[in-house]
Structure 1
Amino acid sequence: MSLVVFESVKHIHCAECRRGPIRHVVREAGVPRCLDCADLGHLVYLPRGDAALTRRAREASSLSAVVVRLHKRRRYERRGLLVEDAALARAERACLADAEARARRRERDRLRRAAEDTRFTAAFAAEIRRLFPGCPADRAQAIAAHASLRGSGRVGRTAAGRALDEQAVSMAVRAAVRHLDTEYDALLMAGIPRFAARTRLAPRIDAILGGWRTGTAAAEPETGPGRA
């Protein structure tokens, strides 16, 4: 069980030595005490943020305490750790010693993710070309790259998109046509509601997509609303 020290946001004074205000508070028998009076004054503060350093410092320190602060949602969040100075120094040396190895591992992971992204983007573009054989190859590649960008939250990164679901791929193509081949963005900037703009442009978008599906040039539709 870890010792817990509270990070105070109020002006609190130690109940024993009357010193204050104190930032780190130890509560004993319901009263606040400073670190010195709680026999923790020799410990140094290590803010959270470096998981490896925190783990090693805790393991090397014979005495440690978790520092928490009361969040506005009435729950405590972890702020850092109090550890022995010598333990922190040993942990820092250990982290420096394997920093190069960790950097190489991060680079390997980066290259692996980049290769995975390249393969997935190519597969997404190939699926676009299968569903829309009239879509130019460079356009399919650009749509796939945009839709599948890692961390973007776009349709290509959803579960359906990752599975190359036909509807998800079609949504990505439709969105690209909407933004790049029509005045949709200009309509939004002019204050036209999104769904009204989509309805207005749906026939043109359907014509372009229809031409891409059949491999023929898109023609303006005769009549009828569609889905933009």
Structure 2
Amino acid sequence: MPAQVIEVLKPIHCALCHHGPLLRLVREAGVPQCLDCTGLGHLVYLPRGDVALTRRSREGSSLCAVVLRFNRRRRRYERQGLLVEAEALQRALTRCEADAEARAHRRSRDRARRAAEDVRFTEAFAAEIQRLFPGIPPARARAVAAHTALRGSGRVGRSAAGRALDGGAVTAAVRASVRHHDTEYDALLLAGTPRLEARARLAPVIEAVLTAWRQSDQDPVAERDRR
């Protein structure tokens, strides 16, 4: 397992050699140590971003370390890059330059494939919305599907349940759309209303819209009652 190196957010000196302030350090038993004192000082930094270069550099380096930085807003450590041997990085760069065109072609082909998959999934999601809510306007069903099924969005449509077209996930997507577009929910949040309180206050309104959309305009029972 690669060693973990921390990018420093405040001035800290090495507890062993007193060198500093440090840009990066390793904590052993809670004690900050510089890279030279931990045997990592000869490694070079490779920022994250190029997947092929990172993978090849890591595979070709007999010693490497993961560089982390604490994100105060998210309250977690996040990966910034790697420390690898200079020779391994140079070999990886040479390999990446040699097959750059082939990898670019593969990325383009993969993007096209994912785009086609996204179109099919969005259409299937919209169709399932229409099945569960036959009274919803078709344009609205397509808009909800496009919003919730956006790749990388983290929305319910991209969850495992959403991708399986689970009824609960589809309903959750429609409910979220009604909450944001057909009620004063966003205005309440901007006014300082707690999220759970706002949702509880608007729940009857949202359920009324969902109930109406669950009824088809061509429902034979409804047609018979009207006559």
TM-score, normalised by the number of residues in structure 2: 0.66
Q: Is the 8 A contact 1:57 1:83 kept in 2?
A: no
Q: Is the 8 A contact 2:57 2:89 kept in 1?
A: yes
Measure, in 2, the Cα distance between the counterparts of 1:204 and 1:68.
Answer: 50
Report the CA distance between 1:201 and its aligned residue.
2.4
Q: Is the 8 A contact 1:7 1:67 kept in 2?
A: no
Gap regions ≥5 residues in structure 1: 14-19, 36-42, 217-228
> Taking structure 1 as reference, are residues 214 and 90 closer, same or farther at Cα in structure 2, changes over 3 Å only?
closer
Give 1 or 2 for the bigger CA radius of gyration.
Answer: 1
Q: Quote the residue 1:186 is aligned against.
A: 187
Measure, in 1, the Cα distance between the counterparts of 2:58 and 2:200.
Answer: 61
Report the CA distance between 1:176 and its aligned residue.
0.6
Q: Quote the residue 2:164 is aligned against.
A: 163
Matches of residues 57-136 of structure 1 in structure 2 within 5 Å? 65-66=63-64, 79-84=82-87, 89-136=90-137
> Taking structure 1 as reference, are residues 55 and 193 closer, same or farther at Cα in structure 2, changes over 3 Å only?
closer
Q: Quote the residue 1:219 is aligned against.
A: none
Q: Is the 8 A contact 1:160 1:168 kept in 2?
A: yes
Q: Quote the residue 2:36 is aligned against.
A: 25
More displaced 10-residue stretch of structure 1: 43-52 or 95-104 = 43-52
Measure, in 1, the Cα distance between the counterparts of 2:213 and 2:68.
Answer: 58
Amino acid at match of 1:94: R
Report the CA distance between 1:104 and its aligned residue.
0.9
Q: Quote the residue 2:146 is aligned against.
A: 145
Q: Is the 8 A contact 1:60 1:91 kept in 2?
A: yes
Report the CA distance between 1:198 and its aligned residue.
2.5
| 1:25 partner SS | coil
Q: Is the 8 A contact 1:53 1:92 kept in 2?
A: yes
Q: Quote the residue 2:44 is aligned against.
A: 45
> What percent of counterpart residues are identical?
56
| 2:154 partner SS | coil
Measure, in 1, the Cα distance between the counterparts of 2:172 and 2:119.
Answer: 21
The number of residue pairs the alignment matches comes to: 190
More displaced 10-residue stretch of structure 1: 145-154 or 193-202 = 193-202
Measure, in 1, the Cα distance between the counterparts of 2:68 and 2:121.
Answer: 44
Q: Quote the residue 1:223 is aligned against.
A: none
Report the CA distance between 1:159 and its aligned residue.
1.3
Amino acid at match of 2:216: G
> Taking structure 1 as reference, are residues 120 and 56 closer, same or farther at Cα in structure 2, changes over 3 Å only?
closer
